[in-house]
Amino acid sequence: MLFRSGIAALVMPFFFIAHIYEQLKGQEDNGYSLAYRNMLMISSLFYALMGLLLLYHILNFFFNSNLSLLGILVIFMGTNLFWFTLRQAGMAHVPLFFLYSLLIYLTLLVYNKPRSYLFILMGFTAGFITLIRPTDIICLLIPLLYNVYNKKTLNDKLIFLKNNLKGVIYFAITFIIPLIPQMLYWKKFAGSYIYYSYGKETFNWLHPKILDGLFSFGNGWLIYSPVMVFSILGFLLYKRLKPVALTLFILVPVYVYIIYRWYCYNYINGLGSRPMIHLYPLLAI
């Protein structure tokens, strides 16, 4: 499997702290000592806390401070986010939780008060999500569908995009930027700008395992994070959450369809389906 750069880039600052520490101590700076492992754990905790902080501000757009605080506590303490933050650090899921939180928060800011730098940050964030997990390119539905829930709001969205065309261009450019180094790497070592790095591991598009992925005792999502049943029931309250209703009703089913078409639909470990962690910032609403 050829190297994929997304998580490496996010963990790199913590790696270099450990690297400098080992060098100052005159220890073997080989990337495998306790200092490196500790910094990897700290990186996971950092991205989890940053994601939760952003999620608190996201929830504050819709609810009061007390409910927002309760929301982030439930997401952290009641789901497998807790496990991947404090026990199984180093995988993509906690950083992606942070990046999804950031993307949603930037989306709210952009539609509240459009600014060029917000479009740039939003595009870069979406690009980084796609770099880490290419199937998560559907995260683009978050800014695209936000605040669209009837014909009038659809027309308003088109006008918004037209009036902020420069920002949309900035978004497109910065979306591509994180992908370029990876594509150049693949071209050099695999001979192609687009390379499937999972070998024979693939998706089974004709035979989904959605019910097993959600409810199986063999690592099913809702069996091990049952509190998230309330996030599903929350779909019934879509009339109170119109700005995100269409995003929820389209992105979540499509995402569930994709992740449970994977050949290893139970995702082996982590107390429930780990890819669902990426959507927690959206499901928390």
3-state secondary structure 177-222: CCHHHHHHHHHHHHCCCCCCCCCCCCECCCCCCHHHHHHCCCCCHH
Q: Which of 58, 29, 12, 23 is nearest to 247 (CA)?
A: 58
Q: How far apart are CA 74 and CA 202, in angstroms?
A: 33
Confidence band of 1 (pLDDT split at 50, 70, 90):
very low
Residue 257, pLDDT > 70, answer: yes
Which range, of 113-127, 170-184, 187-201, 214-228, averages the lowest pLDDT? 187-201
- Residue with the larger pLDDT of the pair 123 and 239: 123
Residue 2, pLDDT > 60, answer: no
Report yes or no: 129 and 136 within 8 Å, Cβ to Cβ.
yes
Query: What is the CB neighbour count within 10 angstroms for residue 257?
Result: 12
pTM of the model: 0.95
Residue 190, pLDDT > 60, answer: yes
Q: How far apart are CA 253 and CA 278, in angstroms?
A: 14
So what's the pLDDT on residue 258?
95
Q: What is the dihedral of CA 213, 217, 218, 221, to 10 degrees?
A: 40
H or E element in which residue 77 lies: helix 65-77
Residue 240, pLDDT > 90, answer: no
Non-local (6+) Cβ contacts of 227 within 8 A are 74, 78, 79
Tell me the per-residue pLDDT of 44-64, one tens digit each, with 9 for 90 and over: 999 999 999 999 999 999 999
Residue 74 buriedness (CB in 10 A; 0-12 / 13-18 / 19+): middle
So what's the pLDDT on residue 3?
61
pLDDT-above-90 percentage for the chain: 81
